[in-house]
Amino acid sequence: MGKKESPKKENNIQPKISGISNRVFGIIKFILGICLLPFVWATTVSFINEFKLIENSGRNFWVGLFSFLIVYLFIWEPAIVYAKGQRLLELLFSFFKPLVRVAPFLLPVYTIVLFFAYIILTFVFKSGGLINYFVFLFGFSMGLHLVFSSKSMRSKQADFLKANYIFGFSFIYIINIILLAVFLSVIFEKFSLLNFSTTSPQLAKNIFNAVFRQLF
């Protein structure tokens, strides 16, 4: 009769298999993350090109974004504010477990709340100056979400080749820029969602074509 493998050997094999599969999955995510980088660049350029058309109100967005960075770097890290926003999304998506894990990182909850608050307030107050405050807060809240989402993902242990960070944050960034583009297209007539959505894929395609020509 053949010898049976001892439970000790089986226990040693399982972690090795798990470790190999994690590394293979990490390599796949790393490659996918690299493939997302042209889309990161393309959405950023397309967004900025459309955003320039907003003119005066658009400046308030950058003021809000840099204001957050100044607060974060020199005054106070509002981690508790970010955590409360994550908790709110966890409660909202508690009916669907997969979204509970993803939504807090993926969705800029404060920017979404501000957008709907602005839409509601425009029916009450007809002042044109209201938008300037909200665009400032859009920039501040978007900076808050992206910085702390990046920090949370970067601090995760056992991230082989930083694959989770490169893939995950690139995906989060793209989704956030798309959401912001949707919001701004609703608020500003000059911000064209159609131009943004057609230019972004074309720019990414141009990058892939250029890389392909260099390699082959």
Q: What local confidence, expressed as pLDDT, does residue 84 receive? A: 92
pLDDT value of residue 6: 52
Q: Are 51 and 184 in contact (CB under 8 A)?
A: yes
CA-CA distance, 181 to 86, in Å (whole number)? 22
> Could you tell me if residue 1 is inside a domain?
no
Amino acid at 147: V
Number of domains in the chain: 1
Sign of the four-CA dihedral 169, 170, 175, 178: positive
List the structure tokens of 76: 């106070």
Q: In 3-state terms, what secondary structure has residue 124?
A: coil
Other Cβ atoms within 10 Å of 172 Cβ, number: 20
What SS3 state is found at 162? Answer: helix
Alpha carbon distance, N-terminus to C-terminus of the chain:
57
Average confidence (pLDDT) per 10 residues, the chain, 216 residues: 51 57 77 92 95 84 95 93 90 78 88 94 79 94 94 70 80 95 93 95 94 84
2 in a domain, yes or no? no
* Structural domain span for residue 72: 7-215
Q: Which two tokens stand for residue 27?
A: 């390599």
Rounded to a whole number of angstroms, the CA Rg of the chain reads 22
The single-letter DSSP state of residue 117 is: H
pLDDT of the residue at 154: 77
For residue 37, the model assigns a pLDDT of: 94
Closest CA to 188 of 113, 110, 122: 122
